[in-house]
A and B are shown apart, each in its own frame.
Chain A
């Protein structure tokens, strides 16, 4: 009886997988058909165990990282707008980068950080980093080390970025939206000293930057609360300066109303947004490399959804 039930189950699974392969193939991607067929052949044998689903996802993520497919990505308007706004700013403009995330979301948001900072440095903009999350400060230091010290200063020894003249690190301050609100009035009131303990008034770059009104563009890297929403409320709505940001793919849909209302100039949603910005800056990096893995992982999940639903309808028909 058990054997019969299992055979019946496997046969339904095979049919379901072939239907999934056919649907995806019919969408106009003949090159992907072989993937669907291959999965159709493998999945039914493995699927009865949840751990096998995990294994398949791992395979779909790891294989493209080892053997890149180099899929090219289109640029969405929200990313293009932000890039254009940074391009339009005069060299020497002041960009505030708020690192409102922590290592948990680093793989998704750090590529966006690097791409954006790289663009700012190439344009000669000055950068102020701050963090509404405690561990954001370390990520800011890391980004400066990767983009400014290891890249720009090595490639341009005659025109290096110098701390205090071209960029400044501000430390973490507890308080979330209240911190953003107070820097709208005065940086020095919230940050008497920078991350290195130097009084803010002794830093040449900060002499002309007393509050948020002296900032030309605010860029929020957000993986939750407090984050980009707070910068929209304060920097965009209250002070009236341009705000852009990067958010995890899960939270990106929340920001579309702000994009449509013009409160947000641009948005990099997840790794895809970062890969688009990398393409615009002309330096393909980890986000671009991760697109292959993300594409196949999405494909795997779509296949699982199709298979699950085909099985569901077959079961329902069987019971009826």
Chain B
């Protein structure tokens, strides 16, 4: 029974998947879709299994203090550290944090000796400050190459220096007026998004009490609320709710992104780059013309390496042409033979599994 049931499941599933390939209509298409959804679920489950396995193996190694156990501590700490950071701050590249632009505004106008609500003088001071930061950024060696990246860097430095971006500083008086106009006392700046939502909720209530929703579908009701809300907000404050929200929040890189960008990426790229050094060393020590076959391989490698870089073009047109011929004729022939061989092997192995001759899924091979 312990063997018969798994064998039967494998046989029925295998045959059904073959049949659905040749007979796509119902019910085989539904069967194929269902089984493929299961595969995705199992693949996601396998990731969890992988994490559990990684923890078990490395913790066991640390516990028994086997060779290289300190590296296992680093592995486990990195895994747990990145997971915690992701759970606490989210795994998205950026996250929004509140900005106290009225406070930043006060600091800025005091530092620059500008009178309150003198928009012209404020604008001139901001332009001067941005020019100063741009000059500072452009002297750096790693200056961003595109104008967009440069503007982002300037914005970021401005925020670090003054607590909000130039655009937020310009709209700070508006945010201050909005905060002061709210009936409830807004203790924190992150209450602004809630205040904006409260305005929307009041519009909804008003329309509901006026019976405006009668005979409308849910989508039509939502569209009516959204339209009225946008219109009234714009009329009252001169900006859209999205612009008001933008003036009170700013995007910052998440800690998860920092871990990815400044730890994982350089480490992974370094590991891959080491290949160049090992290839060079191996080429010197092991790439020898010991046999006719090895000589053939060596000559082919010589011309392909030379022909696949611009250096080959400088030697002569025949070098890249020869490299191209090697790639598209002997290489393709060889690759095709390998692929056909693998495919035939996969078919015969699959058939053996379906028919129960191979049982790798049973513990101990089913014997």
| Interface assignment of B331: CB less than 8 Å from any CB of chain A | yes
A28 with B36, Cβ < 8 A, contacts A138-B93, A151-B148 known: no
Note all chain A residues with C-beta closer than 8 A to B103. none
Instruction: Tell me which of B289, B305, B335 contacts A309 (CB under 8 A).
Output: B289
A182 with B313, Cβ < 8 A, contacts A57-B276, A57-B280 known: no
Note all chain A residues with C-beta closer than 8 A to B335. 253-254, 256-257
Provide the bound-state CA to CA distance between A178 and B17, in Å.
13
A54, A189, A305, A309 — most chain B CB neighbours (10 Å):
A305
| Interface assignment of A146: CB less than 8 Å from any CB of chain B | yes
Note all chain A residues with C-beta closer than 8 A to B306. 298-299, 302
B302 touches A305 (CB 8 A): yes
B280 touches A301 (CB 8 A): yes
B269 touches A107 (CB 8 A): yes
The total of interchain contacts (Cβ-Cβ below 8 angstroms) comes to 179
Stretch among A83-91, A97-105, A123-131 lining the B interface: A97-105
Stretch among B158-166, B168-176, B314-322, B353-361 lining the A interface: B314-322
A178 touches B311 (CB 8 A): no
B280 touches A53 (CB 8 A): yes
Stretch among B39-47, B55-63, B185-193 lining the A interface: B39-47
Chain A nearest CB: distance from B150 CB in Å? Answer: 8
Chain B nearest CB: distance from A284 CB in Å? Answer: 11
18 contacts between A and B (CB under 8 A): A28-B315, A28-B316, A54-B281, A76-B320, A102-B268, A138-B93, A141-B93, A149-B148, A151-B148, A153-B148, A176-B43, A256-B335, A260-B332, A295-B311, A305-B287, A305-B301, A305-B302, A309-B288
- Interface residues, chain A, CB within 8 Å of chain B? 27-29, 31-32, 47, 50, 53-54, 56-58, 61, 71-74, 76, 102-108, 135, 138, 141-142, 146, 149-151, 153-155, 173-176, 178-179, 181-182, 185, 189-190, 249, 253-254, 256-257, 259-260, 269-270, 272, 291-292, 294-302, 304-305, 307-309, 312
- Interface residues, chain B, CB within 8 Å of chain A? 33, 36-37, 39-40, 43-44, 46-47, 93, 144, 146-149, 151-152, 257, 260, 264-265, 268-269, 271-273, 276-277, 279-281, 283-285, 287-290, 298, 301-302, 305-306, 308-311, 313-316, 319-320, 324, 327-328, 331-332, 335-336, 339
